[in-house]
Structures are given as C-alpha cells and as structure tokens.
Amino acid sequence: MARPKPATFDKQKTVAENRRARFDYYIEDKFEAGIALQGTEVKALRAGEASIAESYAEVRDGQVWLVNANIPEFSHGNRFNHEPRRPRKLLLHTREIEKLFGAVERKGMTLVPLSVYFNSTGRAKVELALAKGKQAHDKRQTIKDRDWKRDKARLLRESR
C-alpha cells in the first residue's frame, strides 16, 4: 500500500518559479513530479540557475515531458555538459499520467510548471499544475481584485 502524500509539497530550496502562470491561468489541480536530469543539470540547478517562464508540459507516448525549460550549461561541465533547452522527462505515477492526459484531451486544459525545487531529501522536483487559460477580461478582473486588496489593506492600516 502506498504511503499517503503530504497535503503540501516539501519545498526546501526553490530554484525557479513561474509567477506569470497564476496570472495567465486558472489553477485547477497541482501535482508533484520528479524530473530526470543529467549530472551537470543537477549541478546547475543547485547553483540556482534555471528558468521555466516559457515552459510547458505535454503528454507524449504515455509519458509527461517538460518542454522549453532552460537550465543553462554548468560552468565547469566541459565536454559532458548538457543541452540547455532539451525536453526533460517528468516522473509521475501511471494513474496521474492518465488523469493528466484525460484532462488535456477532453477538457482542453494545459500542463504548466509552477516551480522547480529541491525537497528535503535533496531530489529535484517540479510542481506541475493542471490549468485552464484566462481570457483578457478575466485578467483585467484579476488586476482589479489585486489592486482592491492592496487598497483595502492600506486603508485598514491607516485607520488604526
């Protein structure tokens, strides 16, 4: 029997974060996925160098792949260095992959990476979100709500 998963992900060191994703998409569900990396990629991540701002994930041949994530070459990697934007395999359970594939195919949702981090055991993980895209008017409403929350907090602070 599988061990129950914790309610929140155990993020010890966040390497890269996609802050734009929460503005552009409605986040429906989150998954924690392992990521298959080469040696120099791990070293570059530990140095804190990565970007997932323009990346996405896709289900191909029963596997999930992280596409267009940029992990720059390691400075001391010489000829064993990796390709910075190569597709990287994400490690998920078969049941999770089937759920993601069904949502992407039927509901027209997107797989968006929210962050890359190291957990408490030192493993590199990707926080993957099943998301639905926002329209322009939805984004304007998000901006209005954010500004109102900021103004409300300012007013409450000043009234004290």
User: Residue 45 domain-assigned?
Assistant: yes
DSSP designation for 146: H
Question: Between 2 and 59, whose confidence is greater?
Answer: 59
User: Residue 157 domain-assigned?
Assistant: no
Of 45, 46, 89, 47, nearest to 71 by C-alpha is: 45
Rounded-to-integer distance, Cα 114 and Cα 116, Å: 7
The CA-CA-CA angle for residues 71, 122, 67, to 5°, reads 30
Q: What is the CATH number of the domain that holds 106?
A: 2.40.280.10
User: Residue 56 domain-assigned?
Assistant: yes
User: Residue 160 domain-assigned?
Assistant: no
Q: Note down the domain range covering 48.
A: 13-134
| pLDDT attached to residue 5 | 63
| pLDDT attached to residue 31 | 92
User: Residue 48 domain-assigned?
Assistant: yes
- Quote the number of domains for the chain: 1
User: Residue 93 domain-assigned?
Assistant: yes
pLDDT digits (tens, 9 = 90+) for 102-130: 888 888 789 999 999 999 888 999 999 99
- Statement: residue 33 has pLDDT above 90: yes
**Global pTM?**
0.79
The CA-CA-CA angle for residues 34, 36, 41, to 5°, reads 115
